């Protein structure tokens, strides 16, 4: 099993290209199931999760074919030949549940395994199922599978007013795709506002969907009978942007993040600036550097535009070497402090109290062997290793490959002493 070795203490300096957003690409790929024609996606990141989704779509009869030599442009399309999403594929990635809405909308039935992914807590699909039930689906759970079909007498899903009791990105995406082909108007209230939702809505609009309220928490969709071919460029990855901004800050360096967009970072920009990080934007990206020392700042994870749960682990690593103390409160997932014991092995002072962690900054971290537990925890250990004295060896880095493309190469190009070692 591969591992990553880092010799810390070297400020980053240089340019890092920001790739397309994984969390936007995955639902966009499933949107290709909504039409018999071809959907062409560009600015696609080369990640393990993209390969997993391509394998799942292939299982349904949908071909995912690279258009360019690097595989950054994909052509997606074909006739749906199977409505079952099997456990062996779905268990690898939670986003697999996003085939449920498109399958129901196109074929009137679906059998989808309950999803897997990172072990960061229970992430129920209840809101997905309730939304589809309101649109006329009959759903039951049996043997670890979601069995869904149209109610008797129906030939299409029907528009509905769906009020989400709390914000769910995945449920918003599934309902949005299903509603695009439903009969009548659907209103999604308390919809997620993440940039990835807006990106999906923009792609669906290019395919012929009629959506209003994009970027707000109230989406209105007038269903159409069919969607058509379209081309769409995936939005830049805001989590990758935030992660490398933290990398520049934790090492006391300066990095230009080509392709990064300030408007997509939400509360991350404000929090980093309060911590002593300077972030400026030009037409092509973001310039990030640490001004002087880092200062402890309290943060609470919230739905967009609040501070994202996918940046919590990285920010905790940053706070571990800041002056003073910081309280980090996790409100999205109940089991997302698994990186804390590993950071403690490197000398971080973190005390967990329920959903909050108190981080008391130390002058320096020390390199140590550590183990990655999930995607964002993995990269938080990379950040800690960049700042630590001595060598840090991170084991189980396959998590990283799910969400960060060429991480070692991008960091090494900016002066980091980092290399991947085959296990």
Name the pLDDT band for 131 (thresholds 50, 70, 90).
very high
Q: Is 22 annotated as a binding residue?
A: yes
Question: H-type helices in 76-156, by residue range?
Answer: 87-90, 100-107, 126-134
Q: Kindly report the pTM of this predicted structure.
A: 0.95
Crossing angle for the helix pair 100-107 and 22-31, to the nearest 10 degrees: 10
- Which residue, chain included where needed, has tokens 């030949």? 81
Instruction: Using the predicted structure, report yes or no on whether residue 117 has a pLDDT greater than 70.
Output: no
Local confidence band at 116 (pLDDT 50, 70, 90 cut-offs): low
Q: What is the pLDDT of residue 54?
A: 97
Give the confidence band of 401 by pLDDT, cuts at 50, 70, 90: confident
The answer to the question of whether 124 is labelled as a binding residue is yes
Phi and psi angles of residue 147, each rounded to the nearest 5 degrees, phi first:
-105, 120
For residue 419, the surrounding DSSP H or E stretch is strand 417-421
- The answer to whether 310 is annotated as binding is yes
**CA–CA dist 12, 398 (Å, integer):** 24
Burial (CB count <10 Å: 0-12, 13-18, 19+), residue 248: buried
Q: Which residues pair with 233 in a beta bridge?
A: 42
Do the Cβ atoms of 191 and 217 come closer than 8 Å? Answer: yes
Is 258 within any annotated ligand binding site?
A: no
Query: Confidence class of residue 94 from pLDDT cuts 50, 70 and 90?
Result: confident
Q: What are the angstrom distances between the C-alpha of 184 and each of 3, 39, 103, 104, 120?
A: 52, 24, 18, 16, 38
Q: Give the chain's end-to-end CA distance (angstroms, integer).
A: 4
184: alpha, beta or left? (left if phi > 0; alpha if psi -120 to 50): left
Q: Any known ligand binding at 125?
A: yes
For the record, the structure tokens of 309 come out as 């749960």
ω before 4 within 30° of 0 (cis)? no
The domain locations on the chain are 3-15+236-421
376 assigned to a ligand binding site: no
> Which residue bears the tokens 């140590």?
368
Q: Which residues are catalytic?
A: 118
What distance in Å separates the CA atoms of residue 239 and residue 272, rounded to the nearest whole number? 14
| Low-confidence winner among 90-99, 290-299, 308-317 (lowest mean pLDDT) | 90-99
How much is the average pLDDT of 390-405?
A: 91
Residue 123 has pLDDT above 90, yes or no: no
To the question of whether residue 86 is assigned a binding role by annotation, the answer is no
Q: How far apart are CA 120 and CA 355, in angstroms?
A: 13
When computed from its CA atoms, the radius of gyration of the chain, rounded to whole angstroms, is 21
**Average pLDDT score over residue span 235-246:** 98
pLDDT, one tens digit per residue, over 346-376 is 999 999 999 999 999 999 999 999 998 888 8
Q: Is the pLDDT of residue 378 over 90?
A: yes
What are the angstrom distances between the C-alpha of 81 and each of 63, 64, 110, 277, 280?
A: 11, 14, 12, 52, 49
Tokens describing residue 151:
């109610």
pLDDT tens profile 132-148: 999 999 999 988 899 99
Q: How many CB atoms lie within 10 A of CB 421?
A: 11
Q: Which of 16, 414, 4, 18 is nearest to 240 (CA)?
A: 18
What is d(CA 291, CA 167) in angstroms, rounded to the nearest whole number?
A: 35
Would you say 103 and 134 are in contact if contact means Cβ atoms under 8 Å apart? no
pLDDT value at residue 335: 67
Residue 257: what pLDDT?
98
Q: How confident is the model at residue 121 (pLDDT cuts 50, 70, 90)?
A: very low
pLDDT-derived band of residue 118, with 50, 70 and 90 as boundaries?
Answer: very low
Q: CA 9, CA 260: separation in Å to the nearest integer?
A: 25
Summary mean pLDDT of the chain: 94
Does 208 score more than 50 pLDDT?
A: yes
* Residue 193 annotated as binding site: no
- pLDDT for residue 415: 98
Closest alpha carbon to 341 in 357, 322, 318, 325: 357
Q: Per-residue pLDDT for 169 more than 90?
A: yes
**pLDDT score of 119 more than 60:** no
CA distance 211 to 197: 12
332 annotated to a ligand binding site: yes
CATH topology of domain 3-15+236-421: UDP-n-acetylglucosamine1-carboxyvinyl-transferase; Chain (3.65.10)
According to the model, what pLDDT value does residue 120 have?
Answer: 33
The pLDDT of 24-32, averaged and rounded, is 98
């Amino acid at each position: 099993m591969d591992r990553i070795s880092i010799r810390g203490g070297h400020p980053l300096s240089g340019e890092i290209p920001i790739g397309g957003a994984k969390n936007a690409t995955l639902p966009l790929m499933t949107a290709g199931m909504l039409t018999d024609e071809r959907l062409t996606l560009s600015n696609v990141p080369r990640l393990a999760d993209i390969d997993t989704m391509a394998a799942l779509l292939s299982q349904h009869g949908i071909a995912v074919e690279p258009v360019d030599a690097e595989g950054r442009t994909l052509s997606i399309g074909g006739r749906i030949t199977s409505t079952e999403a099997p456990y062996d594929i779905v268990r690898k990635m939670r986003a697999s549940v996003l085939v449920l809405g498109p399958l129901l909308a196109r074929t009137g039935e679906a059998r989808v395994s309950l999803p897997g992914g990172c072990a960061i807590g229970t992430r129920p699909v209840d809101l997905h199922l309730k939304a589809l039930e309101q649109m006329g689906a009959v759903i039951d759970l049996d043997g670890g599978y979601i069995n869904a079909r149209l109610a008797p007498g129906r030939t299409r899903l029907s528009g509905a007013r769906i009020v989400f009791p709390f914000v769910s990105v995945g449920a918003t995406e599934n309902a949005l795709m299903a509603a695009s082909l439903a009969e009548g108007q659907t209103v999604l209230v308390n919809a997620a506002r993440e940039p990835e939702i807006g990106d999906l809505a923009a792609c669906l609009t290019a395919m012929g969907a009629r959506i209003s309220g994009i970027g707000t928490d109230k989406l209105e969709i007038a269903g159409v009978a069919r969607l058509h071919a379209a081309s769409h460029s995936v939005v830049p990855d805001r989590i990758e942007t935030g992660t490398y901004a933290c990398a520049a800050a934790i090492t006391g360096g300066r990095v230009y993040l080509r392709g990064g967009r300030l408007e997509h970072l939400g509360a991350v920009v404000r929090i980093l600036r309060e911590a002593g990080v300077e972030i400026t934007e030009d037409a092509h990206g973001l310039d990030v550097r640490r001004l002087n020392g880092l200062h402890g700042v309290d943060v609470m994870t919230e739905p967009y535009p609040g501070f994202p749960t996918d940046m919590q682990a990285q920010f905790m690593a940053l706070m571990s070497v800041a002056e003073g103390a910081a309280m980090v409160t996790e409100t999205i997932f109940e089991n997302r402090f698994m990186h804390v014991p590993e950071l403690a092995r490197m000398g971080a002072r973190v005390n967990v109290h329920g959903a909050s962690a108190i981080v008391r900054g130390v002058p320096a971290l020390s390199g140590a062997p550590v183990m990655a537990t999930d995607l964002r925890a993995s990269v938080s250990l990379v950040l800690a290793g960049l700042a630590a004295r001595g060598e840090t060896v991170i084991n189980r880095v396959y998590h990283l490959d799910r969400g960060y493309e060429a991480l070692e190469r991008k960091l090494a190009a900016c002066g980091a002493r980092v290399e991947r070692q085959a296990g």
